Chain A
Amino acid sequence: MVVSGTLHVYVSQTDRGELVFGASVDPFASYSTRGSLEFVEGLATHVLELMPALEKVRVLRQWAGLCDMTPDFAPIMGPTDVEGFLVDVGWGTYGFKAGPVSGEAIAELVATGRTPELIAPFRLARFADGRLVGEKGAAAVGH
């Protein structure tokens, strides 16, 4: 796998030899399971900047999934107003990477009833308090 944080693209080769390219999210809300034309064109441009030798390859197919982005691009972790109901959601594009450590923190919260310092800024009430998380969380392919 080759990843470029600057070009917002990653390239991975499958066992069949095909190349899989991935990138970021559309800059607007969409339920489509295809990228927009502008997005696919931008992705192709970035792929060729990274690997110019691929200029003759044909695109076989493209698809898109849904990303649950929060207003400040950071996840929501912690208790809610409902007793015993905790959330660990809104992970957008990088849940796989941060899942283990967030699970550990949530487990500590469940076990002790106290919110670990590590996840305290990510509480649900931050939207009501106007204290958003300032640093955008994102995968290596940023937003």
Chain B
Amino acid sequence: MGEAGARPDPRVATPEQWRDYLYLQRNAAGWTTESWYHRMGCRRYLVVERHTVTNEIRSAAPAESRRDL
């Protein structure tokens, strides 16, 4: 689902903040933190640390354990 980032507060977020949250990605060539949906398996949302060059995965945790993202 793309890079994970802190979701703006919908009560106070400006259109620019929503745009940045939805569309602007770091696109780093290296370690990145992403949201994944395990559709063909347990159907849970996960937060995954993945290297975008080697595709190595360093960690995966249920999304509910990362409320900060």
Contact = CB atoms under 8 A, between A and B. Distances in A.
B52 A30 contact: yes
Interface stretch (B4-12, B21-29, B59-67): B21-29
A112 interface: no
Contacts, number: 29
Contacts of A36: 55
Interface of A (DSSP majority class): loop
Contacts of B3: 29
Interface size class of B (residues with CB under 8 A): 10 to 19
B52 A71 contact: no
Q: Which 8 A-B pairs have the closest CB atoms?
A: A31-B29, A31-B53, A71-B23, A127-B23, A31-B52, A128-B19, A29-B52, A30-B52
Nearest to A72: B23
Given A30-B52, A127-B22, 19 more contacts: A28-B50, A29-B2, A29-B3, A29-B25, A29-B27, A29-B32, A29-B52, A31-B52, A31-B53, A32-B52, A32-B53, A32-B54, A32-B55, A36-B55, A127-B19, A128-B15, A128-B19, A130-B15, A130-B19
